[in-house]
Structure 1
């Protein structure tokens, strides 16, 4: 196996990545009382087995708290200078972005001078993640629940560690929605990038486990995605999970060629019973990219954008003219499911990523034969027995070693969460004190009051700590949010009002507004909140949406027009203004607002722009640059 036989020495270096693109912006102070993105899959096929149904029912999160929403990124073309880490052994070079979730931005085959991943020429964000901001490209690590991880646009700790082939890079962070610790050791073995992952449960109780690795690969007209399977579970934007034959689920169209599909869809291949599972994306000349893993990662998936106008528009929105598909691997068969991680335990696996080569005639041949040949080619360069041996050796001798030279700093929340529990860091990680919002929580544990708008801490452990905190506006506000999320609206209102009496804040007034059934009263509360905080865009958005719901479009226009120019000119606000103009019968002006509209925080599956265009211009087709439909219609 190339991974252990190679004598190539890996060099790990910190560097900077110069790239043009968007700025991320800050985190909203407004707690999200519901998921940022609603689930698009709402029904399961009768073919779904009982165990799958049980895993689908398990573990849904109803809020991304304690994380804040990241929605204030722009669509700019700034010159960015991002912290990066490179691993280079003269055969392959990996570039990692520790400040953006530890994303592997690039994996380059140096001998062939070929980039193996989709590496965007511009960094663009969109509303795809559990806390909104997400960007396409590279290899992404997703721990938490269905969707792109809360950590995907947040910093991770990084340090040099040893591996069976020399220096490696360890990435780690405390994932706060689940209170699980994620570590990923990146090493080079010959022509492979190896990612050895641990998920650690520091608590005595079992927890839902969701994990998927997401890999973006370049897509041409003839890119083919191959894995040995006869069926797949398909989710599309029609709302159902269905078992379909592959590669031809709907007649003659062969979805192993991603560009051939009409609509965007996920295909979760039925491969759980296989040994040495792999998935390959390959070009007609036989050059390809492959992923394989030890047995713990049972799922394999293809996400394709399809060739409909909306899917193509989304690709251009995210990566300009760089079409791509996603191949993925996860702990369950589909991304609707959650497995279990037992209390005070860990789960681990190793993945292998790298180039592969097939004969061109095989690539173009029968799907089953091509998929079998691809799996054999992967097994030749990364045999499962050798990968298992690597994993066992790494787990026994390297996974628990103390990180050496620090390369990047993540959040301070791991240190504070361990202090809350009276625990020390598990073997293999260290959580330092970091001067971020975790310092206010550390003060809370020390018996101090919180006097800043720290996002509420909602776990049972933290709610107990908040109960014993000194009396103050934040304590009552945080208890109000906890009761709000628990469905105890009477107690939530009481806590919010107590907080306001102690010290009026926009966040507590907004909490009351969200709980108020009287739309006029809610509008009054939002108005008061925005007097205290006129600069948070989310407050303006919610206030205007409420006024439109109350059929007060004229008032909505007045609120928008009185806002500061930076808020008024934002794409989301302009979309709301177009809605309000339509409601008062000013469709020509609404169309003018829409025609050159860019909404930076546009969300996956969001048809608001196209639907509004159809209302204001019913006799005119939706312009291509405004068509983000994911269903092919």
Structure 2
């Protein structure tokens, strides 16, 4: 088929999505001096190729700065009216959320009246992303570094554009950890959603490139995920990346049925050398969902939660009773790797998403035959030659066309970063005026003093601007953060103290506290910082955690008791209280706190709740609502 042959014309319109869910609070003013989540995979199998080892060693972020952490969200069920954009051609309807990373929330087959994706019944955040807040469901776009993107809960620019089949939707934003531009054109072509992507490097230097598309698909007891492969690279929260055979890595369990596995795991299928790579999630009746792409996306992956208590608990935490798996596609073979994007260049590809329809008998057959049948079916509806032809035409004729009608504004950072470089926007993109988040940086670039809180800008280009900016408390503080990140603790302390000499601020006091090698001195600094800023929860969490680490549990309780009611009642603070009570031998009180504990910013791999329960109640199993183990063994690390 030729995608442009479709007679169905696409219409794009702005709307709002009514859904109950959580609210996302303000970004933390505290810079993260290290990644907010440690890598769970720390070693590679002996048979990992040298090129893979090189890509794994490349490009890991040591801080999410210049982004702030998004950890202040709740688990409420408020009625939300989220800005949304729909694409509709009478065959498919895609619903996109421009304020939440451009997530495709829904992709509905209108003729079959069937939803193709996992669509959550409510919006729930958890601490999975590079800057914390993330939510499950739909199709997400991840540019940056290993993990869910910094932009996953941040707005993107959105506008209507021309496409070969009517109106299309362009989403774009400046990703600030890498200083790369992500641009996606979404178009409906018959019964396929086509997404054509550009990653643009505006700078002369080469940069690490990480990109993965994550797709949440419904999971039943008979859901099967198929892609032609005999082996995969597996991570299973054991700390190692290992090459295993598929579909049965060991024993009799067929991992192509996600619900059959016990523990949570990632399977990065070895599909090297294939053209027209695809991955399909299909039910026993032959209906399902499939993805394919042009050859630039080399990797294909299955993530499964498994049927162990922890996996089931995580799914319920994120999407209530809606079980799901993820099928994914990326630039590299695994998500531990970073490719390179050349300086002053771009990388591009097109993906096709849509319904799958297979013979039920083929679906239930041997994996090799079933996977080949699925791949052939995908090729019949989205042939690689036609997809490549579409991509060439889009890249030459449509990608560089200016957007028509703006639908939503993202951040103002693109305009500020281009002004820093004295460059125009790339063809096909416009970056509107600065916003509240980027206003101070624009003033800094204009040579004005910064006299308000601004998360430090850490690129070499911004460091030069900061060094020649007017003297003031913020300049000294920002230089302190830069030296702190560079590992020069002595100079960082000098800058923090110089900042405090000009104005006492919680952020500079906290910088000194983090650098302090004496726990008592650090606790004093945190106490001073919290007197200036009693409302930032991160300060309380760090202060109490420091006291617990210093075996000062009584002091930790006193600090919690003196906090504002909003901070005392937060689930993370209640967990810290339970830890302090346990240190003081008050296990009955600790158990009472844990029994109904909800920690909104719970992170993937966070084992604190289960571990504490085992210490407080060693003769009782971890209650189901507290078991977030990722290994399938509740005695193992989560």
Superposition TM-score, scaled by structure 2 size: 0.99
Residue aligning to 2:216: 216
Q: Cα distance, 1:165 vs. partner? A: 1.4
Deviations 1:469-493 (A, max 9, x none): 1000000000000000000111100
Counterpart-to-counterpart distance in 1, 2:164 and 2:333: 30
1:610 counterpart = 2:607: no
1:20 counterpart = 2:20: yes
Query: Which residues in structure 2 correspond to 1:351-390 (within 5 Å)?
Result: 351-390=351-390
Counterpart-to-counterpart distance in 2, 1:226 and 1:151: 29
Contact 2:315–2:323 (CA<8 Å) still a contact in 1?
A: yes
Q: Cα distance, 1:436 vs. partner? A: 1.7
Residue aligning to 1:627: 627
Query: Which residues in structure 2 correspond to 1:477-516 (within 5 Å)?
Result: 477-516=477-516
Q: Any stretches of 5+ residues in structure 2 without a counterpart? A: 634-638
Tell which deviates more after alignment, 158-167 or 79-88: 158-167
Query: Which residues in structure 2 correspond to 1:451-462 (within 5 Å)?
Result: 451-462=451-462
Contact 1:66–1:456 (CA<8 Å) still a contact in 2?
A: yes
- SS of alignment partner, residue 492 of structure 2: helix
Residue aligning to 2:170: 170
Residue aligning to 1:255: 255
Contact 1:12–1:86 (CA<8 Å) still a contact in 2?
A: yes
1:229 counterpart = 2:229: yes
Deviations 1:71-118 (A, max 9, x none): 000010110000000000000000000000000000000000000000
Contact 2:448–2:469 (CA<8 Å) still a contact in 1?
A: yes
Residue aligning to 1:57: 57
Query: Which residues in structure 2 correspond to 1:191-202 (within 5 Å)?
Result: 191-202=191-202
Counterpart-to-counterpart distance in 1, 2:615 and 2:278: 47
Residue aligning to 1:591: 591
Counterpart-to-counterpart distance in 1, 2:29 and 2:2: 49
1:141 counterpart = 2:150: no
Q: Cα distance, 1:250 vs. partner? A: 1.2
Contact 1:286–1:358 (CA<8 Å) still a contact in 2?
A: yes
1:266 counterpart = 2:266: yes
Counterpart-to-counterpart distance in 2, 1:160 and 1:576: 48
Contact 2:25–2:73 (CA<8 Å) still a contact in 1?
A: yes
Counterpart-to-counterpart distance in 2, 1:280 and 1:511: 48
- SS of alignment partner, residue 475 of structure 1: helix
Residue aligning to 1:541: 541
Counterpart-to-counterpart distance in 1, 2:2 and 2:381: 6
Question: Which aligned runs of 4 or more in structure 1 are off by greater than 6 angstroms?
Answer: none
Contact 1:11–1:88 (CA<8 Å) still a contact in 2?
A: yes
- SS of alignment partner, residue 386 of structure 1: helix
Aligned length: 633
Counterpart-to-counterpart distance in 2, 1:518 and 1:40: 29
Counterpart-to-counterpart distance in 1, 2:5 and 2:373: 24
Residue aligning to 2:296: 296
Query: Which residues in structure 2 correspond to 1:440-459 (within 5 Å)?
Result: 440-459=440-459
- SS of alignment partner, residue 122 of structure 1: coil
Residue aligning to 1:279: 279
Counterpart-to-counterpart distance in 2, 1:602 and 1:209: 28
Q: Cα distance, 1:434 vs. partner? A: 3.0
Deviations 1:570-607 (A, max 9, x none): 00000000000000110000001100000000000111
Query: Which residues in structure 2 correspond to 1:38-57 (within 5 Å)?
Result: 38-57=38-57
Q: Cα distance, 1:251 vs. partner? A: 1.1
Contact 1:164–1:393 (CA<8 Å) still a contact in 2?
A: no
Residue aligning to 2:636: none
Counterpart-to-counterpart distance in 2, 1:250 and 1:272: 23
Counterpart-to-counterpart distance in 1, 2:256 and 2:265: 12
Q: Cα distance, 1:3 vs. partner? A: 2.4
Contact 2:416–2:434 (CA<8 Å) still a contact in 1?
A: no
Q: Cα distance, 1:435 vs. partner? A: 2.2
- SS of alignment partner, residue 94 of structure 2: strand
Counterpart-to-counterpart distance in 1, 2:418 and 2:240: 40
Superposition TM-score, scaled by structure 1 size: 1.00
- SS of alignment partner, residue 325 of structure 1: strand
Counterpart-to-counterpart distance in 1, 2:472 and 2:400: 42
Residue aligning to 1:517: 517
Residue aligning to 1:465: 465
Q: Cα distance, 1:2 vs. partner? A: 5.8
Deviations 1:492-550 (A, max 9, x none): 00000000010000000000000000000000000000000000000000000000011
Q: Cα distance, 1:163 vs. partner? A: 1.4
Counterpart-to-counterpart distance in 2, 1:275 and 1:284: 27
Residue aligning to 1:37: 37
Counterpart-to-counterpart distance in 1, 2:468 and 2:417: 17
Counterpart-to-counterpart distance in 2, 1:570 and 1:122: 21
Contact 1:2–1:189 (CA<8 Å) still a contact in 2?
A: no
